Amino acid sequence: MPSIASVVIIVIIVIIIIAILAKNIRVVQQARAFVIERLGAYSTTWGVGLHFKVPFIERVAKVVSLKEQVVDFPPQPVITKDNVTMQIDTVIYFEITDPKMYTYGVEHPMTAIENLTATTLRNIIGELELDQTLTSRDIINTKMRTILDEATDPWGIKINRVELKNILPPKEIQNAMEKQMKAERERRESILKAEGEKRSAILVAEGEKESAILRADAKKQSQILEAEGEAEAILKIQTATAEGIKLINAAGASEEVIKIKALEAFSTAANGKATKIIIPSEIQGLAGLATAFKEVIQDPEKPAPKQAPKN
């Protein structure tokens, strides 16, 4: 029968074994990878899930995050093609695509990427002038991403995006650029003001032109209507005269009546405005007759004037 000491030792051994086994059971989380070494050499890469590590033989060399990462590097001094020194800081977006190459490809990967970014940036900016540098951010970003992605392939790193965060020219250059921008804004303001005044003058002139055209057209229409009215009045007078003559002819009026009507027409034609009227001789002979006829009509009971005795 085993002694109590032996039982205690066995229990202790079992507990130690269970603890060792529990410690070597590892769970790999999502978007992570474990690089495993066996006896100091690379063995395998664990993905997501439950894994067991052989005690004292295998070890986790590195835990690698597979998420996209962002690194903001401090400003780097660079010199443009026209010898202007400026400070530029960059932001790198990258992800680890091969945990093994990332673990064994380069010592201190972040430091290597930072130095590679600085040298690449100096090379690209050195080929550009100041104005091109300020207006060519997209071109610079694309060139840097291409160069860095190609250079970091052996390290198991993929460069997804490169952005120039800030471009800081010297203070005197900034002052000169501000003055230039102010002058440009004033020039644009003057141009816009002149164009506005020009447009306003054109609109006023067009309005006056249209107004004059409308006034002339109204006057023309008024004159046309007035002329048409006068013509219609003359036509009606002529029509009435023709109708009167026609009625007189139909009534069988004598020549003397017609001449009396002509005399009345001459009287109406004068209308108090003429100072002298020339009456035809055939109408003059009827003047006395018309007067006598008028007196007879006005006083039919008055006796006719006595005629002087003939000698």
In order of 92, 150, 289, 300, the CA distances from 117 in angstroms are 9, 12, 135, 139
Nearest to 74 by CA among 87, 83, 86: 87
At which of 169, 192, 209 does a domain end? 169
Check: CB of residue 167 under 8 Å from CB of residue 77: no
Has residue 60 been placed in a domain? yes
Residue 229 lies in a domain: yes
Question: Among residues 169, 190, 218, which one ends one of the domains?
Answer: 169
Rounded CA-CA distance 66/34 in Å is: 11
Residue 59 shares a structural domain with residue 77: no
- Examine the domain organization and report whether 45 and 84 are in the same domain: no
Q: How far apart are CA 140 and CA 133, in angstroms?
A: 8
Residue 146 belongs to a domain with what CATH number?
3.30.479.30
Q: Is residue 309 part of a domain?
A: no
Domain tally, the chain: 4
In this predicted structure, what is the pLDDT of residue 310? 43
Residue at 90 is within a domain: yes
From the list 65, 79, 67, the residue with the least C-alpha distance to 118 is 79
pLDDT in tens, 243-283: 777 776 676 655 655 566 655 655 555 555 545 555 555 54
Q: Which regions in the chain score pLDDT beneath 50? A: 274, 283, 286-287, 289-290, 292-302, 304-311
Within-domain flag for 174: no
Range(s) of the domain holding residue 147: 69-169
- Looking at the whole model, is its pTM more than 0.85? no
